[in-house]
Amino acid sequence: MPIYELPDLPYDYSALEPALSGEIIELHHDKHHAAYVKGANDTVEKLAAARHAGDLGGIVGLEKTLAFNLSGHVLHSIYWENLSPDGGGEPTGELASAVAESFGSFAGFRAQLTAATATVQGSGWGVLAWEPLAGRLIVSQVYGHHENVGIGSTPLLVFDAWEHAYYLQYRNVRPDYVERLWDLVNWEDVSARLTAARPV
């Protein structure tokens, strides 16, 4: 039994059109996300085999591969749930309060996450996360799937800035893709993630 499994999309491939084409979503979920799930499972197996053989000489590469693929699986699993054909607008309630406290205003937060996503050098993510030590929200600019992360923070809203997320439709104009993502954000899902992450 594999440890990690590819989750079903919560909507049809074409549900997010015209912002994101069905072709992009199908490839992104069925090929790219699936590859991270397989990569994580394969690496867990290789680590078990290495322990069994008493040969941990490849540990550095295996740990890097696990972190990359597992983080890719985690982020994509959140990304699908963060988006909705009925999304957009602004958060309400506790999430709106936390955004205002942490960033000054929704507009300030939106500008920061937009800039963080649009300016990732190469492949990565813009992430809104709950940072438990200070008890506030932060924006992270993640490289690959797992670098430049404030460890211990919990991702709540993730914008995929890898070219595979937008290139078929937006070509090199990543900022246009990021603007359209805001029209898809499922704030109920983001709010539920904050409630789960934040101590009562």
The residue (of 107 and 173) whose beta carbon lies closer to Mn ion is: 173
Residue selected from 160, 161, 186, 191 as contacting Mn ion according to rule CB under 5 A: 160
Q: For the segment 92-121, give every residue that binds Mn ion (CB under 5 A).
A: none
- In whole angstroms, how close is the CB of 64 to Mn ion at the nearest point? 19
Per-residue contact flags (x/-) with Mn ion for residues 120 to 159, judged by CB under 5 A: ----------------------------------------
* Secondary-structure percent of the chain, ordered helix, strand, coil, rounded to 5: 55, 15, 30
Round to whole Å and give the CA distance between 114 and 110. Answer: 6
- In whole angstroms, how close is the CB of 72 to Mn ion at the nearest point? 7
User: Considering the rule CB under 5 A, would residue 162 count as an interface residue with Mn ion?
Assistant: yes
Q: Which residue is nearest to Mn ion (CB)?
A: 160
The candidate with the shortest Cα–Cα distance to 182, out of 104, 119, 91, is: 91
The candidate with the shortest Cα–Cα distance to 101, out of 140, 131, 137, 154, is: 137
What is the binding site for Mn ion (CB under 5 A)? 160, 162, 165
